[in-house]
Amino acid sequence: MRRPAARSRAIGGRASPRPSGDRPSEFRSAGGHTCPPVDWPALVAAARAAAARSYSPYSRYAVGAALLAEDGRVFAGCNVENASYGLTNCAERTALFKAVSEGARRFRALAIAGGTARSPALPCGACRQVLAEFCAPSTPVAVAPLRRGAPVVRALGDYLPFSFGLDGAR
Ligand SMILES: [Zn+2]
């Protein structure tokens, strides 16, 4: 469910594709989205810190997410499991619901930390759709291994092309 179908190439190479000494620059995703620059080390660190708070006694699969709002606030979330498995909430949705409930509705970037470099915690289908409610297709999403290693960045629109939506939302 969280395994990559194939090891797809990072968008713009690895995250932090910054020219030496410069601020990170925008990049073009594999799906053709122009993504804004992001301070990935800080956002990935926030996602990893959130993963440390994961409540995952059943799967023992900790995931953290950190969502950067347009106003600069970072909302972090972890996966929260339940004995009734279907009630489990993913880290990405925890972060998003926290953000929306605190008044943030526009976002610049998302970082997810979980899994390993070979098998990182990619966002599930439900989270992709929920993120698409509030995030533009060009929103960059970094997926990083839980412990260490560089993230791979793709655009949300690469993860979920042709997403479902209704006019007039937000
Ligand atoms: Zn999910």
- Going from the Cα of 19 to the center of ligand 1, the distance in angstroms, rounded, reads 33
**pLDDT tens series, the chain, 170 aa:** 444 444 443 444 444 444 444 556 788 998 899 988 899 999 999 999 999 999 999 999 999 999 999 999 999 999 999 999 999 999 999 999 999 999 999 999 999 999 999 999 999 999 999 999 999 999 999 999 999 999 999 999 999 999 898 876 65
- Going from the Cα of 2 to the center of ligand 1, the distance in angstroms, rounded, reads 9
Backbone angles phi, psi at 163, to 5 degrees: -70, 155
Indicate the pTM of the whole model.
0.85
Segment 149-152 long-range contacts (CB within 8 Å, at least 24 positions apart): 149/117, 150/14, 150/15, 150/16, 151/14, 151/15, 151/40, 151/44, 151/111, 152/8, 152/10, 152/11, 152/14, 152/15, 152/120
- Domains in the chain: ranges and CATH: 37-159 (3.40.140.10)
Tell me the catalytic residues: 92
- Going from the Cα of 37 to the center of ligand 1, the distance in angstroms, rounded, reads 24
